[in-house]
Each structure stands twice: as structure tokens, then as C-alpha cells.
Amino acid sequence: MRSFASLASLKGRVALITGGAGHIGRAIAETYAELGAAIALLDKPGANTDDVARSLTDTYGVLTTVIAADLSDEAAVRKVPQRVVDACGRLDILVNNASLVGTDGLEGWTTPVEDQSIDTWRKAMEVNLTAPFLLVQQAIPALRASGKGSVINIGSIYGVLGPDWRIYEDVDFGTPAAYAASKGGLLQMTRWLATTLAPHVRVNAIVPGGVDRNTPNAFRKKYAARAPLGRMATEEDLKGAAAYLASDLSAYVTGQSLMVDGGWSAW
């Protein structure tokens, strides 16, 4: 029987992480690099992806490569998996982490539902749902050839549950319909791809709760009061789930959405 350390190891594997310069993307990249994987970081042009890649190489001594691409650009997205294979020799793990969020300066995003923009809705679907499907589709040959192929989609509690608007009183942010619909679609796509790509490629999802990142104190308190574990998430809370689903620790797990939400969905 293999040891736990052997099951958890990612040595010899290559992981592509979209949104790799962001908070969650970086935490996942650090996890995989610590476990021995080579890392391909994809983010939009202008992101600080080069700095993250240098840090990974300096800290963990792993091969890193950077890909700048707009996930709403179909032609660019189609080329990404082969670019990873060309740079790293293979592709074993695909993490669809990037998504449009409230910090992207979108018009008609966190506005009353009557004013939410259809153009912004379409862009959210392109980045949050269509691009992950296209990346998986184009990565299938490499993931199958890996023998250890694993796709991990990063969802949201709002792809599972409706928002509790009481905790958003007196704050100037929220979760629009486009975000919820795209994340809900991503979780259903996870199940569909899991049965379609089995037995050669596993497909699972991580469903985080709200992540505490410069969060207004009033919102933080309301959120914590509603969460059974009494706090918001941190990026570190996602590392264990990311390691589990990428490695042989979850070799018999596919089609699952792992809730990492402090019990939010258990009520």
C-alpha cells in the first residue's frame, strides 16, 4: 500500500492554473509547487504573473511558465493547453479558477437586478463558463495522455445557493445574477464532464464560501454570524481541498463539488 506522502505528491506533474496571479490562484499554485508540480500560470495581460512565477521558482525550485491571455478571446484560449505542453512537456492538472468578479470595474454588475447589464452578463458567461469548457475541451488529449488527468473547477456558494441579502445591507457590493448563473453552470458542467471523460480524466469542483480580503468589518461580522464555523474563509483554507483533488489522494473521486464554506450550506 502506498504511503500518504506518495499519494499526495505531485512530482513530475504539470498544473495549469487560470487566474494564477490572483489570491486564490496563487495559493493553489503555491500548494502544487510545494508538492513538486511544475506550474503554468495564466492570467490577463498586465497582471503580476511574472512576479508570482519567480516567487514559486525561488521558493520551491519548480519550473514555472507564464501565459498572458484574455479568457474572452476564443482563439487565444484554444491555444493555451498546447502552449503548456510545448513549454512544460505535458499537462496533468487544469484548475479553472479565473472569473469575473466585482473588482473588474464592470458596468451593470453589482447594481439592482433591473439595471444589470446584458453585455456584462455575456462577458461573465464567456470568462466564467465558456472559457473553462473550452480549456478542458482543448486539454483532453494531454489530460488523457497523463494517466493522472485532473480538472478542478472553482465554483462559489452562490452557484449552489441564493444570496442572503440581509448581510449586504449598508455595503456597496453584492453578487449579481450573472456570477451566480455562471458558477451554477460550472458546477453542473463539472458533473457532466466527470461522467463523459471518465475513466481517464477526473473532474471535480471546489466551492468556496466568502473569502475575507479587506472586507468591511460590518459585513464580516454579519457573515461570521451566519456561518457555523463563525468566520469567513481565507485562501489558506482552500489549499487542502486543492491538494486533495489534484493528487492521488482523490484517485477514486470524480464528479464532486467539495464545499469549503465553513458550513454555510449546511443550514
In the structure, what pLDDT confidence band is assigned to residue 114 with cuts at 50, 70 and 90?
Answer: confident
Q: Which of 158, 179, 223, 244 is catalytic?
A: 179
Helix (H, G, I), strand (E, B) or coil at 41: strand
Average pLDDT over residues 4-27: 97
pLDDT of res. 258 = 98
Beta strands in the chain (DSSP E): 14-18, 38-43, 64-68, 93-96, 149-154, 201-208, 257-260
Q: At what angle do helices 118-125 and 177-197 cross, to 10 degrees?
A: 30
pLDDT tens figures, 156-208: 999 999 999 999 988 888 889 899 999 999 999 999 999 999 999 999 999 99
> In the predicted model, is pLDDT for residue 220 greater than 90?
yes
Average pLDDT over residues 27-40: 98
Please give the distance of CA 238 from its chain centroid, rounded to a whole number.
Answer: 10
In the structure, what pLDDT confidence band is assigned to residue 234 with cuts at 50, 70 and 90?
Answer: very high
pLDDT of res. 171 = 85
pLDDT tens figures, 42-88: 999 999 999 999 999 999 999 999 999 999 999 999 999 999 999 99
Say whether 179 is catalytic.
Answer: yes
Task: Provide CB contacts within 8 A for 116, sequence distance 6+.
Answer: 108, 109, 176, 177, 178
For residues 229 and 122, what is the distance between their CA atoms, to the nearest angstrom? 35
- What CATH number is given for 4-109+120-162+177-210+236-261 in this structure? 3.40.50.720
Residues in the chain: 267
pLDDT of res. 104 = 61
> In the predicted model, is pLDDT for residue 102 greater than 60?
no
